Amino acid sequence: SAVAQADYVIRQDPQIHFNKEAISLISGEDAYSDLINPNKVSPITYKSSAWNVCSVDKYGELASSYVKTTQTVTITASFAGDATYKPATATMQVTVVAKEPLSTPVVTPLGGTYTEPVDVTITTDDDRAVTIWYSTTAKDAEEFEDDYTKSVITEGKSVTLTIDKSCTLYVMTR
């Protein structure tokens, strides 16, 4: 007869998994995902279900973003498989917990109609505040929050500026 050939590949489970199924991070914190890889398979590819909430680099380092509401993302570690080990995926839930917002800064005087330039003082009494951000050129609050190039950033808990033209003043502490 003709020669019959059949190839058999027996691959093992690489047994990759995260040390913890779920972790919590405070908004802005970094951490390590802690993938357990007992058979030292590679390469491992990491992904995040929401990079803007919590990103993960090629080494499994996690970086949570500053979020206004607590959010949960899924971090995935994948191995594509090879001649010895079959493909595998491990997942971990990362909950990014929003910090309590900083106190709203105080603006004195708080707007109005004037016939000449006015000195405006911005202050905060929040111990966590490091800088005061303000803008007289942002077209709205969203642009002010999203585009830091529209802001003047000053360190400290107080700043005084002179308003010499009609405008809307947007202010926040960070």
Cα 24–chain centre separation: 13
Model confidence over 61-93: pLDDT tens digits? 999 998 889 999 999 999 999 999 999 999 999
pLDDT, residue 70, reads 95
pLDDT, residue 148, reads 78
Model confidence over 119-156: pLDDT tens digits? 999 999 999 889 999 999 989 988 888 887 878 888 99
State yes or no: pLDDT of 161 exceeds 90. yes
Model confidence over 12-53: pLDDT tens digits? 999 999 999 999 999 989 999 999 999 999 999 999 999 999
Supply φ then ψ for residue 145, to 5 degrees. Answer: -70, -35
Confidence category of residue 174, pLDDT binned at 50, 70, 90: confident
Is 67 in contact with 96 (CB distance < 8 Å)?
yes
DSSP letters, 27-49, are TT-EEE--EE-TT----EEEEES
Mean pLDDT calculated for residue range 84-112: 94
Q: Please state, in angstroms and rounded to a whole number, the distance separating the CA atoms of residues 166 and 164.
A: 7
| Global confidence as pTM | 0.65
Q: Across the chain, what does the average pLDDT equal?
A: 93
Give the HSE-up count for residue 21: Cα atoms under 13 Å, Cβ half-sphere.
0
pLDDT, residue 158, reads 94
pLDDT, residue 104, reads 92
pLDDT, residue 31, reads 96
Token pair 């808990």 in the structure block, residue: 157
